[in-house]
């Protein structure tokens, strides 16, 4: 199994999608920095503060932690899932398309260990992506925007019901927690992509199907017509990862939604494993 894991990891690192994912995330951080910087300059200017008696968008509000929080929040639901789906969707279907799946399957490696090692590598890649993205945002925030406490307000980002604050060190820990909770939430997408990778012949179809399913639920969940269905969408449950940024982490709800995400991940993985074991590999 360890050998299998090492091989799968090497394959992943050498794949083009691996480097593309990190390059794309870095580009996003650069764009965010440019947008944040110009917005902060405009909004913290004297003209705005004299127009309104009260604004929290002051120079102390715009700091590296606020930058990192906004960047992570904005990218989590729409950007990072693309790379997770891309990597996971290519695992089995990619081998099939390359003509190597049959060969791998005739080696003395069980299909179970093949699929599980591939999933573990995808999970590791997901964590690397999230941790890299958070770390990069914090570093960029520190060097280009500056440090301070993390101030939270109702409405924007929808994290708190009343104004709150996380002190700098505590906020940094919360980003560490977010790398774990974010990875756990994204594993649902990884598991779905693995299932589609087993079902479909082409990695492109597996990736697009995963993203289509994810986006359909994400979009429908925001349409009022389907408000009563929202609690049943896995995309709603995935949102639990953000709770780590609340001044008081709601542990009960955190565990509840984390548990549901875990059930989705392991349940879908079990289904993928069952299908993969019985699948006739002809290519």
Name the site residues for another protein (rule: CB under 8 A): 52-57, 70, 73-74, 112-113, 116, 153-158, 161-163, 222, 224, 227, 239, 250, 252-253, 255-263, 265-267, 269-270, 273-274
- Minimal distance in Å, beta carbon 107 to another protein? 18
Say how far apart CA 28 and CA 76 lie, in whole Å. Answer: 12
- The H or E element containing residue 227 is none
Please, which residue, 99 or 225, has the CB nearer to another protein?
225
Please, which residue, 70 or 245, has the CB nearer to another protein?
70
Please, which residue, 13 or 270, has the CB nearer to another protein?
270
Would you say 9 and 124 are in contact if contact means Cβ atoms under 8 Å apart?
yes
Please, which residue, 203 or 258, has the CB nearer to another protein?
258
Would you say 194 and 91 are in contact if contact means Cβ atoms under 8 Å apart?
yes
- Minimal distance in Å, beta carbon 34 to another protein? 15
Which residues on adjacent β-strands are paired with residue 152?
Answer: 164
Please, which residue, 64 or 203, has the CB nearer to another protein?
64
Q: Which residues contact 225 (CB under 8 A, 6 or more apart)?
A: none
DSSP at 141 = I
Please, which residue, 214 or 257, has the CB nearer to another protein?
257
- Minimal distance in Å, beta carbon 47 to another protein? 14
Would you say 118 and 92 are in contact if contact means Cβ atoms under 8 Å apart?
yes
Would you say 145 and 71 are in contact if contact means Cβ atoms under 8 Å apart?
no
Two structure tokens written together for 163: 């104004």
Which residues on adjacent β-strands are paired with residue 150?
Answer: 166
- Sign of torsion over alpha carbons 98, 101, 102, 106: positive
86: nearest Cα among 134, 114, 30, 125: 125
- Minimal distance in Å, beta carbon 73 to another protein? 8
- Minimal distance in Å, beta carbon 97 to another protein? 25
Please, which residue, 168 or 256, has the CB nearer to another protein?
256
- Minimal distance in Å, beta carbon 265 to another protein? 8
- Minimal distance in Å, beta carbon 62 to another protein? 12
Would you say 172 and 253 are in contact if contact means Cβ atoms under 8 Å apart?
no
């Amino acid at each position: 199994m360890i050998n299998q894991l090492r091989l799968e990891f090497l394959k992943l690192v050498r794949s083009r999608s691996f480097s593309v994912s990190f390059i794309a995330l870095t580009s996003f951080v650069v764009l965010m920095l440019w947008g944040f910087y110009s917005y902060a300059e405009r909004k913290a200017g004297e003209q705005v503060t004299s127009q309104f008696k009260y604004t929290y968008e002051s120079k102390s509000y715009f700091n590296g932690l606020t930058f990192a929080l906004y960047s992570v929040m904005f990218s989590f639901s729409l950007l990072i899932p693309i790379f997770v789906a891309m990597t996971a969707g290519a695992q089995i279907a990619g081998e099939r398309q390359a003509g190597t799946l049959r060969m791998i399957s005739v080696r003395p490696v069980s299909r179970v260990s093949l699929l599980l090692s591939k999933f573990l590598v995808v999970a590791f890649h997901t964590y690397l992506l999230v941790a890299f993205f958070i770390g990069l945002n914090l570093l960029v925030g520190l060097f280009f925007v500056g440090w301070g406490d993390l101030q939270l307000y109702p409405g924007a980002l929808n994290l708190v019901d009343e104004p709150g604050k996380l002190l700098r060190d505590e906020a940094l820990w919360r980003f560490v927690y977010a790398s774990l909770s974010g990875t756990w939430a994204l594993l649902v997408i990884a598991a779905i992509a693995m299932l589609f990778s087993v079902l479909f012949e082409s990695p492109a179809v597996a990736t697009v199907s995963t993203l289509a399913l994810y986006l359909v639920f994400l979009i429908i969940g925001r349409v009022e017509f389907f408000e009563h269905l929202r609690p049943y969408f896995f995309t709603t449950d995935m949102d639990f990862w953000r709770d780590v940024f609340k001044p008081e982490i709601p542990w009960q709800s955190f565990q509840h939604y984390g548990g549901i995400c875990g059930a989705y991940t392991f349940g879908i993985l079990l289904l993928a494993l069952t299908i993969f074991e019985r699948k006739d590999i002809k290519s």
